Amino acid sequence: MKSARLQPRKLLAAALACGLLAAAPAYAQFAKPEAAVKYRQSAFILMGTSFARLGAMVQGKAPFDAKVALDNAQIVEFMSHLPWQAFTPGTDLPDSHAKPAIWKEMDKFKADANKLQEMTPKLVAAAKTGKLDDIKVVFGETAKTCKSCHDSFREEL
């Protein structure tokens, strides 16, 4: 039986593969709006799953493992760069969980995305210390950044 420790590595490999595909021809346009929605939702799912794994350790619901924490922090950091290119005109589809405010307040939305991208390297740096207390501080700040954007721009799931 394989160790649960390998799962973050698989997620990182999947994230890297998504990133390579995303970088193809200068962030080529999506063929259909549905493809853009699926792309950004997939990026958010991977990011959210890894963030939740960190959260379980931070909250004491899972045993702390410094290597697993670092793996997941790195996935979150990488994925924090991917979904934003898929918020293009015409992708405000029903059931996409994206509020119309995204397109009305694009500057604020981009600022929130940038704030997340500024926080995630700090999360990786904290995880590299191997100290749960260091991770807890940055995790909390990063979670507030996520919540702020969700409150403003994500429909309830």
The secondary structure of the chain as a DSSP string is: ---TTHHHHHHHHHHHHHHHHHHGGGTPPPSSHHHHHHHHHHHHHHHHHHHHHHHHHHTTSS---HHHHHHHHHHHHHHTTSGGGG--TT---TTS-B-THHHHSHHHHHHHHHHHHHHHHHHHHHHHTT-HHHHHHHHHHHHHHHHHHHHHHB---
Q: What is the pLDDT of residues 107-154, one digit of tens each?
A: 999 999 999 999 999 999 999 999 999 999 999 999 999 999 999 999
Rounded CA separation 65/5 (Å): 9
Cβ-based burial of 4 (10 A; exposed 0-12, middle 13-18, buried ≥19): exposed
Confidence tier at 27 by pLDDT (50, 70, 90)? very low
Question: What is the pLDDT averaged over residues 61-68?
Answer: 98
Q: What domains are defined for the chain?
A: 6-84+99-153 (1.20.120.10)
Task: Tell whether the model's pLDDT for residue 52 goes beyond 60.
Answer: yes
Instruction: Please state which of the ranges 21-35, 40-54, 81-95 shows the lowest mean pLDDT.
Output: 21-35
Task: Tell whether the model's pLDDT for residue 3 goes beyond 80.
Answer: no
Contacts of 24 (CB under 8 A, 6+ apart): none
Residue 26: the pLDDT is 34
Instruction: Please state which of the ranges 8-12, 29-33, 80-84, 119-123 shows the lowest mean pLDDT.
Output: 8-12
Residue 22: the pLDDT is 52
